[in-house]
Structure 1
Amino acid sequence: MNYSFNSRVRYSETGEDGRLTLPGALNYFQDCCTFQAESIGLGMEVLKARDRAWFLSSWQVIVDEYPAMGTEIKITTAPYDFKGFMGMRNFTIETADGRLLAWANSNWTNLIISKGIPARLTPADTDNYVLSKKMEMDYAPRKISLPDDMISQEPFQVQKHHLDTNHHVNNCQYICMAEDFLPEKFKVYQMRAEYKMQAKLGDMICPKTKVESGKVVVSLDDEKGKPYAIVELAEK
């Protein structure tokens, strides 16, 4: 079953152009599925008591139009499949009159918090959800191939403001890190992200980048070269 909430684009969610940023859109999506989980009795505290949590495995997000500050919007999420230890969700952002601005697909892994390993889904995890029909969109592969000849960038350390309630770098923070390597006036139409490991406070992020025509790929690695997250940003 779809779940929606209404909002208005705030000044604090906009960039230099006065429009909602890509991280702002991602935060709306994340808030929407969190609100749905709370509304059906499967919120964070309930999952935590069972030593469970949902972690994002991958994003595919398309933003056709970034709404301006003050725009009335509706954010919707629709879980459409559970399989093994994975859950799949679509998202949309629309104007008040129903014009589609952004849409997304996402894959989530149910983890045992204390062990950091996937947990096979049970009725306790899924029965409160009513699945929706999978959205019609051009689905990209979940995995992102790294191009050759990526260029190493200056490493930096994970700070407190990067963390979320799970004490790991929040999924949206990796996108913010990747956006720092975009060329001037690069407008993201499609963002894909693949999350591989969880970075914690004090860990070093060692970025590698490749700028191609209309596309930038960023691998955010640990000090041994293993990626925490891979992000692909593409123009229309």
Structure 2
Amino acid sequence: MFTYERKVTYSEVASDAMADVAQIVRYFQDCSTMQSESLGMGIDFLAQHSHVWMLTAWQIQVMRRPRYFEEIVTGTWAYGFDSIYGYRNFLLKSSRGEILAVANSIWILANTKTGKPERLTGEMVQGYGSEEKYPMVYAPRRIALPKTWEDLEPFEVRRSDLDTNNHVNNARYIDMALEYADPGVNIYQLRVEYKKAARYKDKIWPRIHRENNKLTVALCDKDQKVYVAVEIATDEN
């Protein structure tokens, strides 16, 4: 497992002085890129080979959100590879070893010239290695979308939403979805399914569906084709 330690900074916390789920995703995202860089397979290596890792799904379970200035340890490891897919777990702990959040993620290796998936190379598989998968209840990659929706006002993708691939950053979609959650809600689990990338000045039409303890958010294009689906649950059910 690759790990890095840090303190939660003021710029990373919400109004309640704790990091929200989107910030936890940023910790995980940074941890995976740090591991790739440490192995010599970071963004420059990928660019040289016309490759990019595309995230297809998150499943994140939150036990406790970290507090401002708390010391935290973020860890990640690959637990499997399957043709074009890579599978990766994440762990967020306090400095005392308390587990704050765990996650599963599914990735596809894509060719930046063709935009199509490519088979994983032996160099990548051997470089990352494979460890035992985390013992959690794994949800399906796909999110079942409801039949009825409440359609909300569209908004435009900003430059600040973009990553180095000129797509909306994976964590920014979660920021967008959290805008529709009730203030102060205690999120137990977050699932995200990435379907297609939004770019600068694309318009996003949000649709939401509330049912019991679950909020489903679909961030769509003008034809109601989904960019990203997000499922927010406030307890284990």
TM bucket by the smaller chain? over 0.9
Tell me by how many angstroms 1:124 deviates.
2.6
Task: Write the letter of the residue equivalent to 2:87.
Answer: M
CA distance, structure 2, for counterparts of residue 83 and residue 177 of structure 1: 31
The residue aligned with 2:133 is 134
CA distance, structure 2, for counterparts of residue 174 and residue 114 of structure 1: 24
Judge which range, 215-224 or 117-126, deviates more: 117-126
**TM-score (norm: length of structure 1):** 0.98
CA distance, structure 1, for counterparts of residue 115 and residue 198 of structure 2: 13
Task: Write the letter of the residue equivalent to 1:112.
Answer: N
For structure 2, list consecutive stretches of 5 or more residues without a partner in the other structure. none
For structure 1, list consecutive stretches of 5 or more residues without a partner in the other structure. none
The residue aligned with 1:196 is 195
Q: Please give the per-residue CA displacement for 1:55-98, whole angstroms capped at 9, x wherever unaligned.
A: 11000001110011111110000100010111000000011111
Q: Any idea what SS the aligned residue of 2:93 has?
A: strand
Q: Any idea what SS the aligned residue of 2:3 has?
A: strand
Q: Please give the per-residue CA displacement for 1:169-216, whole angstroms capped at 9, x wherever unaligned.
A: 011111011011112322211000000001111111011100122110
The residue aligned with 1:215 is 214
The residue aligned with 2:54 is 55
Tell me by how many angstroms 1:231 deviates.
0.2
CA distance, structure 2, for counterparts of residue 192 and residue 103 of structure 1: 12
Judge which range, 127-136 or 25-34, deviates more: 127-136
Identity within the alignment, %: 38
Q: How does 1:46-195 map to 2 (within 5 A)?
A: 46-195=45-194
Q: Any idea what SS the aligned residue of 2:171 has?
A: helix
CA distance, structure 2, for counterparts of residue 102 and residue 184 of structure 1: 20
Tell me by how many angstroms 1:151 deviates.
1.0
Tell me by how many angstroms 1:12 deviates.
0.8
Judge which range, 79-88 or 124-133, deviates more: 124-133
The residue aligned with 1:225 is 224
**TM-score (norm: length of structure 2):** 0.97
Aligned residues between the structures: 235
CA distance, structure 1, for counterparts of residue 21 and residue 213 of structure 2: 17
CA distance, structure 1, for counterparts of residue 186 and residue 173 of structure 2: 18
List structure 1 runs of 4+ shifted beyond 2 angstroms: none
Task: Write the letter of the residue equivalent to 2:197.
Answer: Q
